[in-house]
Each structure stands twice: as C-alpha cells, then as structure tokens.
Structure 1
Amino acid sequence: MSDIPEVLFVCVHNAGRSQMAAALLDHHAAGRVRVRSAGSAPADQINPAVTAVMAELGLDLSKEFPKPLTSEAVQAADVVITMGCGDACPVFPGKRYLDWQLPDPAGRPAEEVRPIRDEIDRRVRELLAELLPAH
C-alpha cells in the first residue's frame, strides 16, 4: 500500500454520483488521495445536469467519461464506495467498503441534482478527514 490512499467510487452508470464524488474528493484532497470512479454498466456520457451543477463549483467534468468497473481498479483501491450498484460490485477481502445510499440523479433537472451534489460533498469531506487526519 502506498502512502497515498486510493479511493474508488462505483455506481451503475458512472455518469452521476460516482463522477461527482470523484471530482469533489480530487478537488478537496489536492493530490493527497488517488481517486477513481467506475460503473458496473457505464453510460454513454455523463449526465448533463451533473456536469452543470459541478461547473457551478468550478469543477469541469466535460473531459470525464463513464468508465467500466474492473477488478484491477477494486484491487488497487484502499476504500471502495458504492452508490447503488448492488451485487454488481466485486468484493475483495481486506478492502474497506462503504455504501452511500443516494438518489440517482439520472433524468433529474439541475435543481434536483444540486442537493445530491451537496450531500456527496459533505460525505467526501468527512471521508477525507478520516483518510488524512490532521497531524
């Protein structure tokens, strides 16, 4: 295990929740955490409302794209955070798993995606405080 913790966010389509969580953690961690996201059944593109509400925070998801979940990504991660992918997420012993129950932003307008983003942001900040305790 390297000195830099690695976190993997997984949802079904990797088009909303996991993308927001990865972008927020990457932003707050400022290089102190390795962050990946993936989907058990990746969508064709990121949810446009998700891209819009992240842009409001100055986070650009326009170059991101849904990625398939691989066993390698799970094995590389120290913490795996699932968001409604159920049994599709492979489980490896010795990993820390968290399941964040969050509404799926798919098909929702930006005003309904914003509170999901804000809840993810709150959880990401808590996670970061656990991963990188202040010395």
Structure 2
Amino acid sequence: MEQHRTTAESTRDTHVLQGTAEHLAERYRGIFTPQMVERYVFESYATLGRTARIKTHLATLAGRFADDRLRALAQSMGSIAKDHPQVLFVCVQNAGRSQMAAALLSKVSGGQVEVRSAGSLPAGQIHPLAEDVLRERGIDLADAFPKPLTDDVVRAADYVITMGCGDTCPIYPGKQYLDWDVADPQDATLEGAREILADIEARVHALWERLQAPQGG
C-alpha cells in the first residue's frame, strides 16, 4: 500500500512538473528553449527533494524555485530588465538568518528591492523561532522555504550578503559582497532570536539606506 501511495504521488508530481514546465516555457519564450525550462523544473524538484522534510507540496515549490532561477538567469543575461536592485542573502541552512533578512528587506523597501535568499547546505524547513519572531513583527513566512545556493541567483544579484557560510558563494566582478557577522538562531532561546532579529533589522535598514543613495554620490 505504501509503495502504491508513493508511486501515485510521484505520478501526480510528474504531471504537476510537466504542466509547470509548459507554463514557464511560455513565460520565457524567446529567452530559453522549452527543453532547458523543463530541465530546470525537474532539476529544481530533485534538488529540493534531497533536503525537504515535508514532500506534500514539493512539486509546487519546485516550480516556484525554477521560476525564480530562470528569472535570475534571464536578468543576468540582460534578457529581462532589472527594475529594482537585486539582493541575495546567503547563510548555511537558509532557515533562519537569511530568511529573516530577506523578509525584513522586502518589508522595509516596500517591494522596491528584488530579494532572494539561499543556503550553502539548506535545511529541511524554516526554523520555528525565525517564524515566531517575524510573526511578532507582522511578517508571515508561510510561503518561504529553504533553497540551495545556485549560480544563477548569484549572477543576477547586485549585492550578495553572506552570514556564516564561508567561501561557498562564487565571486563575480561588478557585485557588492558584504559579510554580516550575525548569530545563528538555531540554538537560541526566543529572547535570543529576538536579539538576532534586532541585529539583522538594524543592518537591513542600513543596507536599504545604502541602496537608496545616489549611485556614485
């Protein structure tokens, strides 16, 4: 029975992924071939599947992940215009610090920054304390999920902010690299997580001011 259920779920996911690939192929028509789009979709599914703790909506998450990667790649190629600054936050698990920073910058900037986050060794789910302290600020991480660091999102970024992930992030010319020495909430208490969030929030506000400053000014 378990094997039958697993096979049925796999078949369902395949149908979802194929439908997603067709949808994204239309979205990126003239930029990427349908074959490349399909490869990105199924590759994203396999990559997330290696670490995701809950598999129920894995095909849907993989579609979102593939879409973001394709958009980032198209931006880095100049095929899609960058209407806003691109900021990538990277930590080890993409379950705490980088998720906090990404959520805060999205809120502070009012959508005037395209924000991404990733992890060098992504966890299976968002850390509960990160969700709790952000919820206290009125920010919901229900749609967020840990994502692995991929070359395409780094290429698209104008700013790459790392937090405790060492030298795992590839270096490309023309980008601003910042390393934030921020504690990991993984083993923190609720109060400790609040202090970490306050630290990140101060840094995010400073970054937002920097992003708004006239270029070359």
Post-superposition offset of 1:2: 2.5
Shift in Å at residue 133 of structure 1?
Answer: 2.8
Alignment of 1:1-135 (within 5 A): 2-133=82-213
Shift of 1:91: 1.2
Unaligned runs of 5+ in 1: none
Q: Distance in 2 between matches of 1:56 and 1:4?
A: 28
* Regions of 4+ moved over 6 Å: none
Which whole-Å deviations, capped at 9, do the CAs of 1:113-134 have from their partners, x for residues lacking one?
1011001001101100110138
Q: How far, CA to CA, are the matches of 2:140 and 2:187 in structure 1?
A: 20
Distance in 1 of aligned mates of 2:168 and 2:206: 26
Work out the CA distance in 1 between the residues paired with 2:87 and 2:141: 18
Write the letter of the residue equivalent to 1:126.
A
Give distance in 1, aligned partners of 2:180 and 2:109: 19
Residue-by-residue CA offset, 1:57-106 (whole Å, 9 max, x unaligned): 00001221101101100000000000010011111122100000011111
Q: How far 1:107 moved relative to its partner?
A: 2.3
Say which one has the larger Rg: 2
Q: Which has the higher contact order (CA 8 A, sep 6+)?
A: 1
Amino acid corresponding to residue 28 of structure 1 in structure 2: V
Separation (CA, whole Å) in 1 of partners of 2:203 and 2:142: 23
Q: Is the 8 A contact 1:9 1:22 kept in 2?
A: yes
Q: Is the 8 A contact 1:50 1:110 kept in 2?
A: no
Cα distance per residue 1:10-65 (max 9 Å; x no partner): 00100000000000000000111100000011000111011000000000012211
Q: TM-score, normalised by structure 2?
A: 0.60
**Aligned residue type for 2:99:** Q
Q: Would the aligned equivalents of 1:10 and 1:83 in 2 still touch at CA under 8 Å?
A: yes
SS for the counterpart of 1:87 is coil
Secondary structure class of the residue paired with 2:140 = coil
- Tell me the distance in 1 between the aligned counterparts of 2:121 and 2:192: 23
Structure with bigger helix share is: 2
Structure number with the higher strand fraction is 1
Q: How many residues are matched?
A: 134
* Paired residue type of 2:124: D
Q: Distance in 2 between matches of 1:23 and 1:110?
A: 18
